[in-house]
Structure 1
Amino acid sequence: MTIRLGTNPIAWSNDDMPELGGDTPLKTCLAQASEAGFTGIEKGNKFPTDPAALVELLGSHGLDFISGWYGAELRRRSAKAELAAMRPHLDLLKACGCEVMVFAETSGTVQGLIDVPVAERPVMSAEEWPVFLERIDELGKRMADEGVRIAFHHHMGTVIETAAEIDRLLDGTGPEVGLLLDTGHLVFAGEDPAAISERWAHRVNHVHAKDVRPHVAARVRAERWSFLKSVVEGVYTVPGDGCVDFVAALTPLAQAGYRGWMVVEAEQDPAKANPLTYATLGYRHLAAAAGEAGFRLDPSAEAAARGAPRSRALAV
């Protein structure tokens, strides 16, 4: 099975905490992402929102545009209203030829609140679940009709965080609602990425590869830190620098025929964790683990790594 390896600008500049790398120029991020070996990158707040300008800028650094984060409010609004709210972002992804949207349900989330423990996240009631599932199922179908599928991002501090919540989400929706498998968020939540991968490999349509420092995660629970404090203190790191078994997590995906991107996305303070150093480590470890799991790099990515030109076409 062929894959491509990408990254996220959050290692260079954190959109939720501008004080973490806020003064780092975008060109530095893009140049170093390419230098580390990646051939694609997800969207950050510093990126242009004009499709042609975005594709041209990334292309000048040998990078393709992978996708971008969207925080939904489906607990509070209909699928039709959500589609209208996401329209600018969806149109950008469509114009750039993206196949998935990094999608999270962020109503009531505590992920961006520095003073609220991540343990105090919202939880959906028994009465909420059927309404939510109906809405996201409808939205997934509408988005699939437009050529961009939901890659649902389970996330610390949100209503979909645990294995049980992921199971309920996917059991209650059709194939148009895909799963973004995030190794770091699963381990931080106390779950086993390999078990989720084994159970839901046929629904995984995007991968975020991050590692976890277990001693920091233990302090988060014991001292009731917020999600943002956890990030600042280094709960996350790149593949190869924590406790995640990436071969075990990726093997079920290879066996299920996963094809697509694997994105190194590890929030860290760039003043403590040099972005290029960690990006390079993450790329090398993830590439090796993916190979051991049964994947190989897409030939175009291998050609790019050797310096050969790659074609890019802007969707119209």
Structure 2
Amino acid sequence: MLNVKIGSAPISWDVLYFGGSKTSGLTFAQMLDGIAAAGYQGTEISTNGFFPAEPDQLRAELAQRNLKAASSYVALPLGQEGGLESILERVQSVAALLAYFSVSEIIIAGDTTPKRLEVAGSVAADGSDGWTDDEWQRAAKTLEAVATLCKERFNLKTVFHHHTGTYVETPAEVARIMDMTDPELVGLCLDTGHYHYGGGDVVEATRQYADRIWYLHIKDVWPQKLEQVRRERIHMRQAWAMDIFAELGRGAVDFPAFFNLLRTQGYQGWMIVEQDSVGRSQRDPGWSPVESARQSRDYIRDVLQV
């Protein structure tokens, strides 16, 4: 049996990590009630205005439902020239909150960009859609600076989250950022859905980055919808509006093989179900985030026995 903790990300409940944006109509308390009722052990938290601003209140709300804070997702302009001081200030405020909750990892990703949102799922293999060499160098140095700050000041490990619509989406891009960063400083938040969307084999990535995977986001992908996205070169925001992500076990990701490999490797840590459901409440009035979350949780229990 794996020693893992199973959490649910707010975006699975149609709540974005930035700006407190939500279209679900759910209150914070209703979301936490649903996460607990669906059988999860925790959730990712944010300083986005949707979560209580006072850490003590947030702690009490989580404890009332026997839930834990898992981590926070921070998207940064990693490849830009200049601005490191403001980046570190932004990270520091989130890291301080995570340290208050004795969290182990902070999730860092690159910002989405208009160019990459347009080609998400269809990124050119020759690198022409990517960063320049100078931008890659800046991104790696910025990521290591963030990781050093988080480690030395807050005792946090930094995990990098590859993401569609950013400059680190494809397997080659994930490999490059991993190769360019210190494995003692920067781990990987492997996201099964985004890795598959970016053209990768999730099982192979799990094998390749066994020592770097310190945190997991797990989601499934509807294969027919992804095929359409690639064929028609559909913008990432439009793909999200197509509800391209599926409950676990219903899509293209080979979760039995993935879970078996994690078991063999002895993975320990958080496994966050993150079924991006932006705006789904308005598109599909019959959609129940609680039932969706419960389906994925039941699947993990059936296949992984946790």
Structure-1-length-normalised TM-score: 0.84
Distance apart, 1:139 and its partner CA: 2.5
Aligned residue number for residue 277 of structure 1: 291
3-state SS of 1:11 partner: helix
| Residue ranges of structure 1 left out of the alignment (5+ in a row) | 292-296, 298-316
After superposition, give the CA deviation of every residue in 1:223-272 in whole Å (9 maximum; x if it has no partner): 22222221121111221221211122233333333211101100121353
Distance apart, 1:18 and its partner CA: 4.2
After superposition, give the CA deviation of every residue in 1:200-234 in whole Å (9 maximum; x if it has no partner): 01101110110000111111122222222211211
Query: Any conservation in 1 of the 2:168–2:174 contact (CA below 8 Å)?
Result: yes
Query: Any conservation in 1 of the 2:92–2:150 contact (CA below 8 Å)?
Result: no
| Residue ranges of structure 2 left out of the alignment (5+ in a row) | 124-128
Query: Any conservation in 2 of the 1:118–1:227 contact (CA below 8 Å)?
Result: yes
Distance apart, 1:19 and its partner CA: 6.0
Aligned residue number for residue 246 of structure 1: 255
3-state SS of 1:130 partner: helix
Distance apart, 1:164 and its partner CA: 0.8
Alpha-carbon distance in structure 1 between the residues aligned to 2:219 and 2:258: 12
Query: Any conservation in 2 of the 1:98–1:148 contact (CA below 8 Å)?
Result: yes
Query: Any conservation in 2 of the 1:154–1:160 contact (CA below 8 Å)?
Result: yes
Name the % identity.
26
Are 1:161 and 2:165 an aligned pair? no
Query: Any conservation in 2 of the 1:39–1:63 contact (CA below 8 Å)?
Result: yes
3-state SS of 2:214 partner: strand
3-state SS of 1:4 partner: strand
Q: List structure 1 segments (4+ residues) > 6 angstroms apart after TM superposition.
A: none
Alpha-carbon distance in structure 1 between the residues aligned to 2:269 and 2:299: 18
Are 1:266 and 2:275 an aligned pair? yes
Alpha-carbon distance in structure 2 between the residues aligned to 1:18 and 1:230: 19
Query: Any conservation in 2 of the 1:202–1:256 contact (CA below 8 Å)?
Result: no
* Distance of aligned partners of 1:19 and 1:49 in 2 relative to their CA distance in 1, 3 Å threshold: closer
Are 1:132 and 2:136 an aligned pair? no
Query: Any conservation in 1 of the 2:91–2:146 contact (CA below 8 Å)?
Result: no
Aligned residue number for residue 47 of structure 1: 51
3-state SS of 1:127 partner: helix
Pairing 1:139-288 to 2, within 5 Å after superposition: 139-145=146-152, 146-175=154-183, 176-268=185-277, 269-271=280-282, 272=284, 273-288=287-302
Alpha-carbon distance in structure 2 between the residues aligned to 1:50 and 1:110: 37
Aligned residue number for residue 123 of structure 1: 130
Alpha-carbon distance in structure 2 between the residues aligned to 1:204 and 1:251: 15
Aligned residue number for residue 20 of structure 1: 23
Aligned residue number for residue 5 of structure 1: 6
* Distance of aligned partners of 1:280 and 1:192 in 2 relative to their CA distance in 1, 3 Å threshold: same
Moved more, 153-162 or 92-101: 92-101
Distance apart, 1:281 and its partner CA: 0.7
* Distance of aligned partners of 1:95 and 1:109 in 2 relative to their CA distance in 1, 3 Å threshold: farther
Amino acid at match of 1:32: G
3-state SS of 1:242 partner: coil
Structure-2-length-normalised TM-score: 0.86
After superposition, give the CA deviation of every residue in 1:159-208 in whole Å (9 maximum; x if it has no partner): 11011111111112112101001000011112111011000011011101
Aligned residue number for residue 101 of structure 1: 106
Moved more, 144-153 or 11-20: 11-20
Alpha-carbon distance in structure 2 between the residues aligned to 1:254 and 1:144: 28
3-state SS of 2:131 partner: coil
3-state SS of 1:59 partner: helix
* Distance of aligned partners of 1:255 and 1:144 in 2 relative to their CA distance in 1, 3 Å threshold: farther
Query: Any conservation in 2 of the 1:201–1:252 contact (CA below 8 Å)?
Result: no
Aligned residue number for residue 67 of structure 2: 63
Are 1:72 and 2:76 an aligned pair? yes
Amino acid at match of 2:33: A
Moved more, 23-32 or 177-186: 23-32
3-state SS of 1:270 partner: helix
Query: Any conservation in 1 of the 2:170–2:195 contact (CA below 8 Å)?
Result: yes
Distance apart, 1:71 and its partner CA: 0.8
